[in-house]
């Protein structure tokens, strides 16, 4: 198997965010619609083996989370904004679970790439906790970024390619509708 680590040619004007909040298909679909998002890839981070497959990650035994890796322009959308959107699109109070998706691979996790990202994430979590938006405490893990392994090709742009599939219609489309209403000012123009 070939090495699936992310190879990026990001310029100095771009930054990378790596986030896990349940199924990566949902998160990828949302972030692909936002201004300032240059690229979104689905993949795996936080585990113990190199180049895991989807089948291996689904066992919950590799320690990987399903994540998205976002390349973004901080002059257009800030890391702080990305995190607020991230927290508005999943339930960060349920450990190892998002709806019917259960297991450590669906945990809420932020893999920070530098100290600045860690500090911003800590502040955003504190702000959300203090605002009492959720009825339970946030369990989102903060971990230093180590590796990103790009998921198999059929996982990339999944919603765009499969929007008529039952999972997409029942789960992803309602999330997209919610995000489109809440963040309509920062959606990419058609």
The tens digit of pLDDT for each residue in 35-70 reads 999 999 999 999 999 999 999 999 999 999 999 999
Q: Residue 190: what pLDDT?
A: 78
Which architecture does CATH list for 15-186? 2-Layer Sandwich (3.30)
- Percent pLDDT > 70 in the chain is 94
Cβ distance 26 to 89 under 8 Å? Answer: yes
Residue spans of the domains in the chain: they are 15-186
Is 168 part of the annotated catalytic residue set?
no
pLDDT digits (tens, 9 = 90+) for 66-86: 999 999 999 999 999 999 999
pTM score = 0.91
Strand order in the sheet with 149-150: 141-144, 108-112, 15-21, 65-72, 37-45, 149-150
Q: Is 185 helix (H, G, I), strand (E, B) or coil?
A: helix
Cβ-based burial of 67 (10 A; exposed 0-12, middle 13-18, buried ≥19): buried
Q: In angstroms, rounded to a whole number, what is the distance separating the alpha carbons of residues 120 and 79?
A: 8
- Residue tagged active-site, from 23, 26, 58, 168: 23
Predicted confidence band at 32 (pLDDT cuts at 50, 70, 90)? Answer: very high
Interval 125-149: pLDDT, tens = 999 999 999 999 999 999 999 999 9
The mean pLDDT of 17-39, rounded to a whole number, is 96
Q: Can you say whether the dihedral through the CA atoms of 172, 20, 160, 155 is positive or negative?
A: negative
SS3 state of residue 4: coil
Q: Hey, what are 101's tokens?
A: 């998706």
């Amino acid at each position: 198997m070939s090495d699936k680590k992310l190879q990026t040619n990001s310029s100095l004007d771009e930054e990378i965010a790596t986030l896990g909040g349940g199924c990566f298909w949902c998160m990828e679909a949302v972030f692909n619609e936002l201004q300032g998002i240059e690229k979104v890839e689905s993949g795996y981070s936080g585990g113990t083996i190199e180049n895991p497959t989807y089948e291996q990650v689904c066992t919950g035994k590799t320690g990987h989370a399903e994540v998205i890796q976002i390349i973004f322009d901080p002059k257009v959308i800030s890391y702080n904004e990305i995190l607020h959107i991230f927290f508005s699109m999943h339930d960060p109070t349920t450990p190892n679970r998002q709806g019917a998706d259960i297991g450590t691979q669906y945990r809420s996790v932020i893999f920070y790439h530098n100290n600045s990202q860690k500090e911003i994430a800590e502040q955003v979590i504190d702000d959300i906790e203090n605002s009492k938006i959720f009825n339970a405490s946030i369990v989102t893990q903060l971990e230093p970024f180590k590796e990103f392994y790009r998921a198999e090709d059929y996982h990339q742009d999944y919603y765009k390619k499969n929007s008529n599939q039952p999972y997409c219609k029942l789960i992803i489309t309602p999330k997209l509708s919610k995000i489109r209403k809440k963040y309509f000012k920062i959606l990419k123009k058609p």
